[in-house]
Chains A and B, each alone.
Chain A
Amino acid sequence: MNLTWHIARKDILHLRVLLIPWLATVAIQVIVCGCLLFPPGLDLRFVERTGMLFNLVAGVGYVLTFFLTAALVLEDPLSGDNTFWVTRPISGQRLLGAKLLAAILVLGLPPVLLWLPWWFYCGFHPSDLLTAAGRTVVWQLLAMFPAFVLASQSGRAARFTLVTVALAVATWVALVVAYAYDFPSGIAPTLLTSRLLLALGVLFLAGCASVWRRYGWRSGGGSQVILGVGLAIAFTCVAASPWNLVEAHRAWQWSDASNQGVSMRISAVHDAMQSDSRYPADFILNVSLDVSGLPDDLNAGAGWADVELRWPDGVTLTRRDLPLLSEPDFFPTRRALGLPPPSAFHSWDAETEAWLTEQAVRRVGAEREQRYRRAALDPTRHDRIRLTLRVSRTDLERWHAVAPTCRVAVRGELEKPVRVVELPFRSNTMAQAGGVRARLGGIVKSQAQPLRLPHSEPIDVFDGTLSVASCPGTGDLQCFLLFREYGSGWRWESPRMSFAVPLSSNLGTFYLSQRMPQVIRGGAWVNPSTSPQESNVAIVRREFVKRFSCSAETAALPITPYGDPANSN
Chain B
Amino acid sequence: MNAIETHALTRRYSRTEALAGLNLAVPEGAVFALLGPNGAGKSTTLKILMNLLSPSSGTATVLGVDSQKLGPDDRTRIGYISENQKLPLWMSVRQLLDYCRPFYPTWDRNLEARLLEQFDLPPERKLRHLSRGMLMKAALLSSLAYRPKLLVLDEPFSGLDPLSRDDFVQGIIEASELGEWTVLIASHDIEEVERFADHIGLLEDGRLRISETTESLLRRFRRIELRDASPGARPTPMPAAWLDWEQSGDLVRYVDTKHDPAIQAVSPASMTAQSMSLREILIVLARQQRLQRKGVAA
List chain A positions with a Cβ less than 8 A from chain B.
2-3, 6, 10, 13-14, 75, 77, 80-84, 86-91, 94
Contact = CB atoms under 8 A, between A and B. Distances in A.
Interface string B147-159: 0000000000000
Contacts of A10: 88, 99
Q: Which 6 A-B pairs have the closest CB atoms?
A: A89-B72, A81-B52, A89-B75, A87-B80, A89-B76, A89-B103
B289 to A, nearest CB: 28
Nearest to B154: A82
B90 A88 contact: no
Contacts, number: 49
Interface string B18-40: 00000000000000000000000
B86 interface: yes
Interface residues of B, number: 24
B84 interface: yes
A503 to B, nearest CB: 33
A15 to B, nearest CB: 10
B100 interface: yes
Q: Which of A2, A6, A75, A82 has the most CB of B within 10 A?
A: A82
B130 to A, nearest CB: 15
Contact of B100 (A2, A14, A81, A88): A88
A90 B103 contact: yes
B102 interface: yes
B94 interface: no
Nearest to A85: B88
Interface string B86-122: 1110100001000110111000000000000000000
Contacts of A90: 72, 103
A87 B75 contact: yes
Contacts of B72: 89-91, 94
B50 interface: yes
B73 interface: yes
Contacts of B85: 82-84, 87
A6 B174 CA distance: 31
B165 interface: no
A10 B50 CA distance: 24
13 contacts: A6-B99, A6-B102, A10-B88, A14-B88, A14-B90, A80-B86, A82-B82, A84-B85, A84-B87, A84-B88, A87-B52, A87-B80, A87-B85
Contacts of A77: 86
Nearest to A88: B103
B231 interface: no
Given A10-B99, A77-B86, A94-B72, 18 more contacts: A3-B102, A3-B103, A10-B88, A13-B95, A14-B88, A80-B86, A82-B82, A82-B84, A82-B85, A83-B86, A84-B87, A87-B52, A88-B103, A89-B73, A89-B74, A89-B76, A89-B103, A90-B103
Contacts of A84: 85-88
B47 interface: yes
Contact of A82 (B71, B86, B90, B95): B86
Given A6-B102, A81-B53, A88 B82 contact: no
Interface of B: 47, 50, 52-53, 71-76, 80, 82, 84-88, 90, 95, 99-100, 102-104
A3 to B, nearest CB: 6
Which of A81, A82, A84, A87 counts the most chain B CB atoms within 10 A?
Answer: A87
A86 B50 CA distance: 9
A383 to B, nearest CB: 64
B63 to A, nearest CB: 13
B50 A87 contact: yes
A260 to B, nearest CB: 62
Contacts of A75: 88
B47 A81 contact: yes
Contacts of B102: 2-3, 6
A312 B100 CA distance: 84
A82 B88 CA distance: 12
Contacts of B73: 89
B9 to A, nearest CB: 16
A415 to B, nearest CB: 56
B107 to A, nearest CB: 11
Contacts of A94: 72
A215 to B, nearest CB: 13
A234 B90 CA distance: 40
A550 to B, nearest CB: 65
A89 B99 CA distance: 12
A77 B87 CA distance: 12
A544 to B, nearest CB: 52
Nearest to B84: A82
B50 A89 contact: no
B2 to A, nearest CB: 21
A94 B99 CA distance: 15
Contacts of B52: 81, 86-87
A410 to B, nearest CB: 62
A527 to B, nearest CB: 69
Contacts of A2: 102
Contacts of B103: 3, 6, 88-90
Contacts of B100: 88
B117 to A, nearest CB: 24
Most buried by A among B50, B71, B87, B88: B88
> Which of A2, A10, A89, A94 neighbours the largest number of chain B CB atoms within 10 Å of its CB?
A89
- Most chain B C-beta atoms within 10 Å of own C-beta, residue among A6, A10, A75, A84: A84
B94 to A, nearest CB: 12
Contact of A89 (B47, B86, B90, B104): B104
A3 B72 CA distance: 12
B293 to A, nearest CB: 29
A386 to B, nearest CB: 62
Contacts of A3: 102-103
Most buried by A among B50, B80, B82, B103: B103
A78 to B, nearest CB: 12
Contacts of A91: 71-72
A151 to B, nearest CB: 16
B34 to A, nearest CB: 17
Contacts of B87: 84
Nearest to A80: B86
A89 B106 CA distance: 12
Nearest to B83: A82
A78 B67 CA distance: 19
B89 to A, nearest CB: 10
A295 B282 CA distance: 100
A202 B73 CA distance: 36
